[in-house]
Structure 1
Amino acid sequence: MIFADRFAGKTLVVTGAAQGIGRAVALRAAAEGGMVLFVDRADFVGDVASEAGVRGRGFVCDLESYEGAAGAMTEAVRCFGGVDILINNVGGAIRMRPYDRFEPPQIEAEIRRSLMPTLWCCHAVLPHLIERGGGTIVNVSSNATRGIHRGPYSAAKGGINAITQSLAMEYASRNIRVVATAPGGTEAPPRRVPRNADGDTAEETQWMTEVVKQVEESSFLKRYGTINEQVAPILFLASDEASYVTGSVLPVAGGDLG
Structure 2
Amino acid sequence: MKSNGSPHLTVAKLLIDARVSGPISKLPDNCRPSNMSEVYAIHDAVAAELGPVLGWKVGAKNATAEPICAPLLEGTIYKSPARLDPQKFSMRGMESEIAFQFASDLPTRLKPYSKDEVLGAIDKAFPAIEVNETRFVNADELDVMTKLADNILNGALILGQPWSEWPSLVVADQLVEMYFDDKLLYSHKGGNNAVDIFRLIVWVANHMRKKGSGITAGQIITTGSWTGLHQAGKARKIVTNFPNIGDVTVKF
Bin the TM-score by the shorter chain. Answer: under 0.3
- Normalised by the size of structure 1, how large is the TM-score? 0.27
- Normalised by the size of structure 2, how large is the TM-score? 0.27
Q: Which has the higher contact order (CA 8 A, sep 6+)?
A: 2
Higher helix share goes to which structure? Answer: 1
Higher strand share goes to which structure? Answer: 2
